[in-house]
Chain A
């Protein structure tokens, strides 16, 4: 199995390189510096800014220099108009090198955000992660638990009134946009509810660090997230469970005289765990991004809000770093999923 994991890791490398390449290219479609400086750009400030960020350097180790906008470094060797540049000083490779060392700005070698000139990108990311996790992790746990329960119940009593009611509720939840829940949640969940209760249970937006403030600031977004996200998961788990009930080995187990609860919670569940785990694992990288909409509306200074602000303010370093980190996380989690899969399903283990 470990060879399998190794192969996957190896295969992921070109994927990741590709992602970074595409992403960096996309971000440079429009000159980041002029986008940031906007109308106030003069030629000098633009050049200075570029140089400071290393944006004047060639993108790839092989490049053709435009005489109007010269590169800031010298080529190792030139063949006609094509120049070969020291890879580590090209933008692409240099950024990859940063990722490898996970160095997004330290005191000695700063990598500053453009919005917050005194902060390193790395520090800003680190600050923003925790608020996001405080929302996404509870939401994930709650959603998964409730959805699995709903799915199990619906499948076990398939066709009954309970099943139909649950599924109707779930579809209703799926058909209303999350933004409606947010708007209504903020009004009813905080202002109205607080009025009725006489004290402030949920704040309608804002954030303060500390576990004691969790209910006040994070509970409402979590609740909304669960209501919205549960629909898809519940239906999926139900489908998985129902498919399990029709399996031959379940008939065998019944023929052996196994009681109903053992059938559901031992035989079916262990087999159903495979797709369930896969699904949960897939959502793990998104724990980091958080819900952009949620953080934006509730003004929670998490990763999502960080990214949106960066986009709106054209803060190039943050955008670039953010997406690189995220993509890397995603790939790693995929591989981790495969490993978990192998642990749960003996058929994969020996393949």
Chain B
């Protein structure tokens, strides 16, 4: 079976920011592939660089203070988005790659109607006439399951609830049938019931339009539900990439393992037990350690870990489909553990 080529290929993406305390590297050497029609999840805790990654792809970061390293490659349909000029980006945005954001309450322009905002996207990227655009707009609203679409199309954003606004955002993003949809924590600001609906909606649309989705979230439950593959990020780096099933079942990086372990579980067996947490805190981006960035918090940390940063390499015996950035991945024998991290190894399900 021939593996299809990725529709979006990110290699060595490095983004830096100018701040009044100096230049800080927000994401470093990020690499992953996105295949057509699949859902790739990017997961990690707040501040790990998920949003910076997605905005770097779309080049939505403020020009004046952002430096995308010239060795970065974001290959899409033969063009390197990292170095593309403004005109090219404008053509691609909304038309070939679309994005929806976390805060539906503020992401829509309050002084224009929904119809106008949908119309705008269509105006830039299609040749449809006014009437055609309007009917397409209504069609999209129906597609995202907004009731009374003909009436709603002339309403203002503040007249809609959060869930509905997010649907409108999705409609806006998909109205030109892009190849890629980047969804930056689309359900974080919504309550759980709406969350489920929106995710189901996105799944549906993806199947219908064959759009690849990059879903950014910090919620592993969401990842398990809708993603085909997942990339785990920590402190600005990708530390593990692979199929969702495999990673959930057989995580290689200690951080991934710890994340999975910290999901609260129901059941009598779990009753009364302490919820495992990851000790320590994420290192400051102004003060990164020399070696592995997770070293301070890792139970399997060795002198090598503190000294040299591991590369993103295929897991043993699996090949390119599962990459990890660890000197001592979980599939190997456990190194001698340091006493202060003894608690980590006693969590249930930990593999030596």
Chain A: residues with CB nearer than 8 A to chain B?
Answer: 158-159, 247-249, 251-260, 267, 270-271, 344-347, 350
Contacts and interface: CB of A to CB of B under 8 A. Distances in A.
B130 interface: no
7 contacts: A249-B107, A252-B109, A258-B120, A258-B124, A267-B109, A345-B111, A350-B159
B101 A271 contact: no
B292 interface: no
B158 interface: yes
A75 B91 CA distance: 84
Given A257-B94, A257-B95, A346-B158, A252 B124 contact: no
B125 A271 contact: no
B124 A249 contact: no
A159 B99 CA distance: 28
Contacts of A159: 64
B121 interface: yes
Given A256-B93, A257-B93, 12 more contacts: A251-B107, A252-B108, A252-B169, A253-B120, A255-B58, A256-B98, A257-B124, A257-B125, A267-B109, A270-B112, A345-B110, A346-B156
Interface in B79-111: 86, 90-95, 98-99, 101, 103, 106-111
Contacts of A253: 109, 120
Interface of B: 58, 60, 64, 86, 90-95, 98-99, 101, 103, 106-112, 120-121, 124-125, 156, 158-159, 169, 172
B106 A249 contact: yes
B111 A251 contact: no
A344 B124 contact: no
A252 to B, nearest CB: 5
Given A267-B109, A347-B110, A257 B158 contact: no
A350 B99 CA distance: 30
B60 A255 contact: yes
Nearest to A248: B106
Contacts of B169: 252
Nearest to B109: A249
B107 A252 contact: yes
B101 A248 contact: yes
A271 B111 contact: yes
6 nearest A-B pairs in the assembled complex, by CB-CB distance: A257-B94, A257-B93, A256-B94, A248-B106, A249-B109, A255-B99
A260 B107 CA distance: 18
Nearest to B92: A257
Contacts of A270: 111-112
Contacts of A345: 110-111
Given A259-B90, A346-B111, A347-B158, A254 B60 contact: yes
A158 to B, nearest CB: 7
